[in-house]
Chain A
């Protein structure tokens, strides 16, 4: 069964600290995405990738970096975490017609 696994599932980070969110997919998909969801709102695209070793900026890339070292793995990096980055983060992989989401990472920056 297609799967997208995110780690950690929740994290509390200190303002100014570095945070790395990891994502692993077993779907053999070329496309991977990082979305942010704030309480009561929709999804906003942060970064995405359609091939290993390459990433693209989404709609809200400021304050985030991404890394795609292999087809299976896609990381989201917050070099200097800020309070405004408190949110739930979803990783996803896609074959274009269907998107498979991870269960999300709840990040709280204090």
Chain B
């Protein structure tokens, strides 16, 4: 069974802090990895993706994520958060061998002023 684990349900930081949201997956084959953001009351929006090449990928609004095959991880980072980054963040895995996309349960990020 493929799984996507976001170990932190809630993360609270102050504006200007750095943040890392963790994502681990269990799948051994070739996969697509991505992150999405959901502001309260809205749909999910794409942040960034990885399939191959440079393990550090840049996304919108200063977000980046790093793929680690050895750790089966794809953690999302931002060097300096803004209050508008407060949202729920979802990690997603799509195995190349099937048509499914698996989402983690999400991490609620709260940025305090």
Binding site for B on A (CB under 8 A): 31, 33, 35, 41-43, 45, 48, 50, 56, 58, 90, 92, 94, 96-104
Instruction: Say whether B63 faces chain A, with CB atoms less than 8 Å apart.
Output: no
State the Cβ distance, B43 to closest chain A Cβ, in Å: 4
Q: A residues within 8 A CB of B103?
A: 35, 42-43
23 contacts between A and B (CB under 8 A): A41-B106, A42-B90, A42-B104, A42-B105, A43-B44, A43-B90, A45-B101, A48-B100, A50-B99, A56-B99, A90-B43, A94-B101, A96-B32, A97-B49, A98-B46, A99-B34, A99-B101, A100-B46, A101-B36, A101-B44, A101-B45, A102-B43, A103-B43
Would you list which residues of chain B between 48 and 107 have a CB under 8 Å from chain A? 49, 51, 90, 92, 94, 96, 99-101, 103-106
Interface centre among B44, B45, B46, B103 (most CB of A within 10 A): B44
State the Cβ distance, B101 to closest chain A Cβ, in Å: 6
A99 to B37, CA, bound (A): 12
Count B interface residues, CB 8 Å. Answer: 21
Interface of A is mostly: strand
State the Cβ distance, A11 to closest chain B Cβ, in Å: 16
Interface centre among B46, B94, B101 (most CB of A within 10 A): B101
With A42-B105, A43-B103, A56-B99 known as contacts, the answer to whether A99 contacts B51 (CB < 8 A) is no
